[in-house]
């Protein structure tokens, strides 16, 4: 087992805002990217009480998920939200690589902003991180119990991962999707990808450009374009066969800006939608097995 540490012990005397059980694996090396980062894992309250296994959500920008003290733009309050909703799942926080964040969160290259290492980043999660998590913790490793989630560029890499690794991820949480990146390269990619069973949560705010008064017209125009690009993705997903309210939940929050506070506010609805999948599929599978047994008995 890897050298997982209790988060308060790891932080030492430093103040933090973590609720519940959070563990950290310091400086995990990525052979795919040749860099290191701490890995955070939040365990459900019942984890220490038995041998139950749990679904897993892999979330990007791990610095901003659990602790206000490490956040550079505000905390998502994932730990508080999971406990308040009574959701039983393991959440893995994968911190971004700072200046290399844009590169790692897009498989597509943008002439002005970079990108292009998204496949390596996902290979790190799929080939290095996930086997480690499945080995050290009581997970449900199947795709129907494995989700990937992020916002902005983290939303872009999450949607891409859903179609790039259909055998690994059965759910994707896509907040304030940066669909505009690299001339909307995500659109043709999703269009040509085969249909993947599962669930997709997709959202956007109508003021993604922000609240600055310096150039209201430009910001409003940016927000309109941003929102329109996410609607294009929504429409494309519906065309591919994702049923609104069942396979696809689209949320458009009026007045919401591009910020952690907005993603934290929409997080409960996203988690409730995504985490129903595992239990529903389990019930369907049990029902199918029962019906098959009944048929065999009758035969």
Instruction: Tell me how far apart the alpha carbons of residues 68 and 25 are, in angstroms, rounded to a whole number.
Output: 19
Average pLDDT over residues 205-224: 82
Strand order in the sheet with 5-6: 5-6, 21-30, 35-43, 90-94, 56-60, 146-151, 171-175, 199-207, 248-257
Residues 6+ apart with CB under 8 A from 238: 244, 248
- Mean pLDDT is lowest, of 198-202, 252-256, 293-297, for 293-297
Tally of CB atoms within 10 A around 98: 11
What's 248's domain CATH number?
Answer: 3.40.50.1820
Half-sphere exposure of 107 (CA within 13 A, CB side): 19
Tens digit of pLDDT for each residue in 64-73? 999 999 999 8
Q: Report, in this order, helix, strand and coil percent for the chain, each rounded to 5.
A: 45, 25, 30
* Count of structural domains within the chain: 1
Bridge partner residues of 207 (DSSP): 257
Rg (CA), the chain: 19
- Looking at residue 135, the DSSP 8-state letter turns out to be H
Q: Is 268 exposed, middle or buried (0-12, 13-18, 19+ CB in 10 A)?
A: middle
Half-sphere exposure for 252 (CA within 13 Å, toward CB):
12
Q: Check residue 129 and report its DSSP letter.
A: I
What number of other Cβ atoms are within 10 A of residue 113's Cβ? 13
Asked if 198 contacts 172 with a C-beta cutoff of 8 angstroms, the reply is yes
Residues in the chain: 299
| Residue 84, token pair as written in the block | 């308040």
With 0-12 / 13-18 / 19 or more C-beta atoms within 10 angstroms meaning exposed / middle / buried, residue 283 is exposed
Average pLDDT over every residue of 97-112: 95
**Given a cut of 70, is residue 172 above it in pLDDT?**
yes
State the pLDDT at residue 296.
66
The whole model's pTM is what? 0.91
The pLDDT mean for the chain works out to: 93
Residue 206, domain extent: 5-298
pLDDT at 170 over 80: yes
pLDDT more than 90, % of the chain: 84
The mean pLDDT value for 70-94 works out to: 96
User: Which residues share a beta bridge with 172?
Assistant: 148, 200
CA dist., res. 259 & res. 178, Å (int)? 13
């Amino acid at each position: 087992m890897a050298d997982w540490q209790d988060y308060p012990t790891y932080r030492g005397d430093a103040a933090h805002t973590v609720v519940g059980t959070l563990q950290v694996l310091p400086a995990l090396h990525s052979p795919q990217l040749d860099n290191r980062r701490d890995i955070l894992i939040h365990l459900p309250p019942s984890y220490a009480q038995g041998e139950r296994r749990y679904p897993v959500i892999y979330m990007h920008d791990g610095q901003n998920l659990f602790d206000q003290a490490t956040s550079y733009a505000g905390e998502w309050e994932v730990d508080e939200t999971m406990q308040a909703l009574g959701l039983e799942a393991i959440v893995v926080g994968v911190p971004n690589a700072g200046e290399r964040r844009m590169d790692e969160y897009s498989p597509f290259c943008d002439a002005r902003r970079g990108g292009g290492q998204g496949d390596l980043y996902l290979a790190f999660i799929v080939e290095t991180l996930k086997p480690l998590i499945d080995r050290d913790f009581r997970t449900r490793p199947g795709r129907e119990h494995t989700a990937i989630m992020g916002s902005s560029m983290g939303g872009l890499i999450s949607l891409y991962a859903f179609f790039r690794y259909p055998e690994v991820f059965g759910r994707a949480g896509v907040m304030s999707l940066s669909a505009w990146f690299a001339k909307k390269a995500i659109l043709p990619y999703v269009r040509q990808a085969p249909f993947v069973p599962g669930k997709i949560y997709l959202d956007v705010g109508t003021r993604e450009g922000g609240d600055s008064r310096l150039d209201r017209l430009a910001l409003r125009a940016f927000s309109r374009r941003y929102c329109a690009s996410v609607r294009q993705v929504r429409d494309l997903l519906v065309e591919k066969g994702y049923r609104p309210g069942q396979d696809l939940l689209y949320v458009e929050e009026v007045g919401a800006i591009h910020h952690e506070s907005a993603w934290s506010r929409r997080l409960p609805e996203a988690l409730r939608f995504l985490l129903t999948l595992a239990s529903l599929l389990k019930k369907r599978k049990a029902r199918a097995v029962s019906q098959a047994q009944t048929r065999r008995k009758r035969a």
